[in-house]
Structure 1
């Protein structure tokens, strides 16, 4: 089966199949992509022959025909117009014409199967599984930041070897690597490497340079670079390129390859029908949608171009009850001994499957029941399509996790096999994580807000059931959020009156039909208060795993991507001290030594590098933040840093307000601002000691020898 598919302007399509001896191309000239048009309202009396008469003579239309399809999961088969198109690039413009015809009132017609990515469309329409039949060979090309905005590279990493020199030297190294590795996949630190290498070849007069496997076509630009916003977070989407015969994975624009590995990518390729290149740059929601589209296609259901699902009517009281999130049991701030963490396995996906929560069956017309607790929504007895989408993924991940445990328990585990299994498990995990939130996403092809509300309602009931049963069994809940509960033995219950935790978990699992797993046992867990409040922060905690040297850390500086290695190392050292001594004084002693090291100027500057995401263009900032100073330095050096990308720097003089506050990580840095990093150190140690009642003021006073100790400090 083809692992990569190329499209040319003249309508030709190339299917590339991986074999042990290299990729083999099959050329096709008869592919005609298709979209559909149907009445938006099933009860509307709309004649499609007028539309057909418009399309038939159109030069970009190959043929039209009326066929029976389901315009949505809640509609039966109807007569719709199928339009076969000469080229995949013509679909959107032709579909737009259907919605603009004066012969039909605005909004009467809806278009379907329009906005598919090109390789995915081809695999869906031609019933092709793009999972490679043989192992894919790869070649990695990487360029340092200092070269990334240059029109010509003086340094390039080729298959792990750094190559420097003239344009001809670098191009020669790339050509040699292509011959040696014959890669099916080019893994690039940035996709801009592709056009830049061709520009270098032109400048150097190297006429025979090519990354392509198909003569006469070097590369194609598929999309320009862009900036986007998702859930309040700015992202950068680089330009995308295609090289015939090879899939490109852009490390600056890939989620699944970055979070898992090539095995994780290939697992999702087989489930989504998105070939490697498209899967690599796709978002979680994009891949989840593709899997849903495959299920819809199998059921004869068309995919709407734009989502137009209205929200079902609900009373103000129901809206109030429905507009709530998952279960939250506020954490008890402090350090708790002998804590157990219990997690429901894939809670939200399993709620969808065990309760049949799906957009096509929620609040059905055939039942009038109170199936959803607290909301009164009915759920049809007919199996929803979303269950058929998610259940195979849940089962597959459970099976993979079991294999990981078996492999990991072997005396001589196969590390390559473990990496493969962990990559696949990680990829499936992200799909399961996103499936709940996507039901409330306004642009989801098949989502419905009532599903989102129902899943939360079931989750709240399940967690409350678990909490009540655990407490009845002699355990005290110290924290609970969404799908996890932390418990410790209730001191008011005698040991012989307390029920076994594993037995309780099994009983709860049977009662709610979702497995409650014993995730971990901790010698102790500390829940951190909010910065400006005594209330517990929901996602900030740390603890020492029992019978292990490992700590579990969530939310504090050591887990934050912007934290410098030095601050992270000191915070982890303070955790070790707290575990060994349970003494704030011992933690402060470690802090004092770190401050002394900072002030002496002996900390290596590469351990002080901070990494922050750029949220907007330089001109869009109104405050002189550290990011702004770093962006100004980058601009002075002609470095391209776009919104959504990271920038790395060391703070050298935080008292200044100009670009001299920082130095970029690649610069020659001789000094740093010790006072700035001292503040960061104190903040990090505050996270460790705040569960014990210390704040940064107490820490400063203790360091200065002026802290007033009250009677409560010894309780």
Structure 2
């Protein structure tokens, strides 16, 4: 089972298998990637023989044949032209020529199985499982931010040890680590380490340096860097490089490795057939697509190159009813005591599996007279859809992993390595399940369908409303609910003896809706935060004290925001501790006064005031002199390349200025900071904590000045009113 597949320029393929004695390579020179051409409409009578004759004369075509395949999950077998290519890089160019070579009008023919990533294609077509048979060895290489734009590294971290030396000594240290560890996986802080080290070796005349396990190839560039936009958010994709024999994980360009760990990555490798390197840089949707492609391949279904699914006809009323999201109960702003949070386990994936919501089952012709989807009237076929077969094993596996985590934690001496493995796998599967719903509404999804997206939302709304009604009938009051979570507290108008047990209610709701309703947490108290400019509740901004331990659950407030400096984060957590211990805003304001004194005394370490923000455009694209602009100007002065979609870190030193002197980058020697600016951030953090009690920023400022602090009772929660 090769964990890595390399493609050489001459068409040879190298399969690398990890063993206890190191990796071994197997050469293959008989691999020919394949794509297909078939009628876009399977009912159209199209003769593929002329196109086949055209392709057979092409020098890059190895073989062709007419085969029988399904061009969609809803379709029967039909003729398709299979085209075998001599090199993997020629698949896309040759597929593009299908329209030029065919005598049929554009749109009559479609290409399939075209845009697969190379290693995934090889695994799929060769029947290879890329899950490593042995544990993979790793080596981490990282450079500080000050070195990232340099052509020569004067400082490099190798397996956690920092080397500061001449280029030759740095290269010697890297080569020594490679010889000692012989890593299967190179974890790099940036992929640019790979070409930079090889260029350093060339310039220094170090002929025997190479990161590669294959003597003829040092490295290959797979893709150039690029900037993209996704759902209004700008992202940056660094250049990608390949080193024969070793999988590359670029920490600046990996979602799953960053959010989980290598165990999480390997779990998804086994499910998606995407080898480690491709899995590491893949997005959630990319991996979900790969898992679906594997299911399609097993069923003899071809994968469309470009999505062309039409949306089914709907009357205007149905369009209006379908264009809705999950159900949300507006949170009751304020402090609520004795609150329980209940969550439906993997609600959207379980809706798909329990209701058979699949692109090949929704609005089927065989049950067109049925109205299975509440509020929309869509029918759902009785035959199990392919999406259920894709997701149910993942749901079951995550349930088993979570149960194993609970068992391990209950042990007197938990195995931390085992826990890390289980949590990494659970986290990786969670992200796949999170994405499966949105994927159905994604216009470029290979197998999605908007009607599935609409049906899932419709079922979710019905389920949440059903849970609300049953909980209220049982003597519980709903204080907030959002899509798959619901917060309840004992209804003060119902006597304790008449109130149903919450666990029994959750079990009854589970049986009724066929999706497990779990007791997520019991809170001593929960505070729902209002919007800054109104008294309406913020849907995803709350905090609460978990009963029975020292844990706080935070959502949306500053301590959970990625841009918040650690000083502000720690301060807000201290405020919550003070508030929980005293139940008085006095203690929170005392904490604020102490923090402000520290700021103005200059005793706060500068590294605790670092802000991290994402750059959304090039420096020239900004029209306002924001902090990001000032930071980008300083980065340019220091020859640091910061691309749109990347983060930039800085300390605010004088927020009144509009020039590059407004901030200082984290690697600079910062001698002072703007205490007034950070004081404002402290006040905002306190406002988040006290606003559920009716306080706003102006009142906090006034109380600081007048040293008059009303007691909590003045702003008591309305829960008992």
Q: Where on the TM-score scale, by shorter chain, does this alignment land: which range?
A: over 0.9
* Cα deviation, residue 616, structure 1: 1.1
Residue 355 of structure 1: aligned partner: 355
Residue 395 of structure 1: aligned partner: 396
Cα contact 1:158–1:174 (8 A) shared by 2: yes
Residue 670 of structure 1: aligned partner: 671
Cα contact 1:349–1:436 (8 A) shared by 2: yes
- Partner of 1:257, secondary structure, is helix
Question: For the residues of structure 2 that align with 1:79 and 1:343, how far apart are their CA atoms?
Answer: 48
Question: For the residues of structure 1 that align with 2:208 and 2:577, how far apart are their CA atoms?
Answer: 59
Matches within 5 A, 1:649-688: 649-688=650-689
Cα contact 1:360–1:385 (8 A) shared by 2: yes
* Cα deviation, residue 102, structure 1: 5.8
Residue 128 of structure 1: aligned partner: 128
Question: For the residues of structure 2 that align with 1:245 and 1:541, how far apart are their CA atoms?
Answer: 48
* Cα deviation, residue 580, structure 1: 1.0
Cα contact 1:139–1:185 (8 A) shared by 2: yes
- Partner of 1:216, secondary structure, is coil
Residue 594 of structure 2: aligned partner: 593
* Cα deviation, residue 709, structure 1: 7.4
1:56-86 per-position Cα deviation (integer Å, ceiling 9, x unaligned): 1100100110000000111100011000001
Matches within 5 A, 1:212-251: 212-251=212-251
1:239-279 per-position Cα deviation (integer Å, ceiling 9, x unaligned): 00000000000000000000000000000000000000000
* Cα deviation, residue 710, structure 1: 12
Question: For the residues of structure 1 that align with 2:711 and 2:248, how far apart are their CA atoms?
Answer: 63
- Partner of 2:100, secondary structure, is coil
Question: For the residues of structure 1 that align with 2:405 and 2:714, how far apart are their CA atoms?
Answer: 46
Residue 509 of structure 2: aligned partner: 508
Question: For the residues of structure 2 that align with 1:474 and 1:339, how far apart are their CA atoms?
Answer: 13
Cα contact 1:698–1:707 (8 A) shared by 2: no
Residue 539 of structure 1: aligned partner: 540
- Partner of 1:447, secondary structure, is coil
1:264-308 per-position Cα deviation (integer Å, ceiling 9, x unaligned): 000000000000000000000000000000000000000000000
* Cα deviation, residue 53, structure 1: 1.1
Question: For the residues of structure 2 that align with 1:100 and 1:394, how far apart are their CA atoms?
Answer: 45
Residue 83 of structure 1: aligned partner: 83
Residue 373 of structure 2: aligned partner: 372
Greater shift after overlay, 574-583 or 293-302? 574-583
Q: How many residues align?
A: 715
* Cα deviation, residue 582, structure 1: 1.2
Matches within 5 A, 1:88-237: 88-101=88-101, 103-237=103-237
* Cα deviation, residue 713, structure 1: 3.8
Question: For the residues of structure 2 that align with 1:273 and 1:333, how far apart are their CA atoms?
Answer: 47
* Cα deviation, residue 714, structure 1: 5.2
Question: For the residues of structure 2 that align with 1:183 and 1:94, how far apart are their CA atoms?
Answer: 37
Residue 283 of structure 2: aligned partner: 283
Residue 719 of structure 2: aligned partner: none
Residue 695 of structure 1: aligned partner: 696
Residue 41 of structure 1: aligned partner: 41
Residue 443 of structure 1: aligned partner: 444
* Cα deviation, residue 99, structure 1: 2.0
Residue 253 of structure 2: aligned partner: 253
1:651-692 per-position Cα deviation (integer Å, ceiling 9, x unaligned): 000000001000001110000000000010000100000000
Cα contact 1:264–1:425 (8 A) shared by 2: yes
Tell me, which stretches of 5 or more residues in structure 1 are unaligned? Answer: none
Residue 270 of structure 1: aligned partner: 270
Cα contact 2:51–2:102 (8 A) shared by 1: no
Runs of 4+ aligned structure 1 residues displaced above 6 Å come to: 706-712
| Closer/same/farther in 2, CA of residues 6 and 102 from structure 1, 3 Å limit | closer
Question: For the residues of structure 2 that align with 1:241 and 1:710, how far apart are their CA atoms?
Answer: 61
* Cα deviation, residue 577, structure 1: 1.1
Residue 426 of structure 2: aligned partner: 425
| Closer/same/farther in 2, CA of residues 710 and 543 from structure 1, 3 Å limit | closer
Question: For the residues of structure 1 that align with 2:170 and 2:663, how far apart are their CA atoms?
Answer: 33
Residue 322 of structure 2: aligned partner: 322
Cα contact 1:260–1:426 (8 A) shared by 2: yes
The alignment's TM-score, normalised by the length of structure 1, stands at 0.99
Residue 499 of structure 1: aligned partner: 500
Residue 293 of structure 1: aligned partner: 293
Residue 66 of structure 2: aligned partner: 66
Cα contact 1:528–1:540 (8 A) shared by 2: yes
- Partner of 1:241, secondary structure, is strand
* Cα deviation, residue 235, structure 1: 0.8
Question: For the residues of structure 1 that align with 2:73 and 2:509, how far apart are their CA atoms?
Answer: 34
- Partner of 2:639, secondary structure, is coil
Greater shift after overlay, 218-227 or 97-106? 97-106
Residue 616 of structure 1: aligned partner: 617
Question: For the residues of structure 2 that align with 1:78 and 1:707, how far apart are their CA atoms?
Answer: 81
Matches within 5 A, 1:617-632: 617-632=618-633
Question: For the residues of structure 2 that align with 1:353 and 1:321, how far apart are their CA atoms?
Answer: 23
Question: For the residues of structure 2 that align with 1:620 and 1:101, how far apart are their CA atoms?
Answer: 43
* Cα deviation, residue 50, structure 1: 1.2
Greater shift after overlay, 239-248 or 41-50? 41-50
| Closer/same/farther in 2, CA of residues 292 and 714 from structure 1, 3 Å limit | closer
Residue 406 of structure 1: aligned partner: 407
* Cα deviation, residue 704, structure 1: 1.3
Aligned-residue RMSD, C-alpha: 1.2
* Cα deviation, residue 100, structure 1: 2.8
Cα contact 2:255–2:280 (8 A) shared by 1: yes
- Partner of 1:18, secondary structure, is strand
* Cα deviation, residue 583, structure 1: 0.8
Cα contact 1:353–1:391 (8 A) shared by 2: yes
Question: For the residues of structure 2 that align with 1:122 and 1:275, how far apart are their CA atoms?
Answer: 10
Question: For the residues of structure 2 that align with 1:706 and 1:256, how far apart are their CA atoms?
Answer: 49
The alignment's TM-score, normalised by the length of structure 2, stands at 0.98
Cα contact 2:693–2:715 (8 A) shared by 1: no
1:407-437 per-position Cα deviation (integer Å, ceiling 9, x unaligned): 0100000000000000000000000000000
Question: For the residues of structure 1 that align with 2:364 and 2:688, how far apart are their CA atoms?
Answer: 49
* Cα deviation, residue 602, structure 1: 1.1
Question: For the residues of structure 2 that align with 1:579 and 1:706, how far apart are their CA atoms?
Answer: 21
* Cα deviation, residue 101, structure 1: 3.5
* Cα deviation, residue 712, structure 1: 9.7
Question: For the residues of structure 2 that align with 1:415 and 1:159, how far apart are their CA atoms?
Answer: 21
* Cα deviation, residue 327, structure 1: 1.1
| Closer/same/farther in 2, CA of residues 667 and 496 from structure 1, 3 Å limit | same
Question: For the residues of structure 2 that align with 1:635 and 1:104, how far apart are their CA atoms?
Answer: 54
Residue 52 of structure 2: aligned partner: 52
Cα contact 1:155–1:163 (8 A) shared by 2: yes
Cα contact 1:438–1:447 (8 A) shared by 2: yes
* Cα deviation, residue 605, structure 1: 0.5
Question: For the residues of structure 2 that align with 1:688 and 1:187, how far apart are their CA atoms?
Answer: 40
Tell me, which stretches of 5 or more residues in structure 2 are unaligned? Answer: 717-721
Question: For the residues of structure 2 that align with 1:497 and 1:712, how far apart are their CA atoms?
Answer: 29
Question: For the residues of structure 2 that align with 1:546 and 1:383, how far apart are their CA atoms?
Answer: 43
- Partner of 1:350, secondary structure, is helix
Cα contact 2:586–2:711 (8 A) shared by 1: no
Residue 471 of structure 2: aligned partner: 470
Residue 335 of structure 1: aligned partner: 335
Question: For the residues of structure 2 that align with 1:422 and 1:333, how far apart are their CA atoms?
Answer: 34
Cα contact 1:262–1:423 (8 A) shared by 2: yes
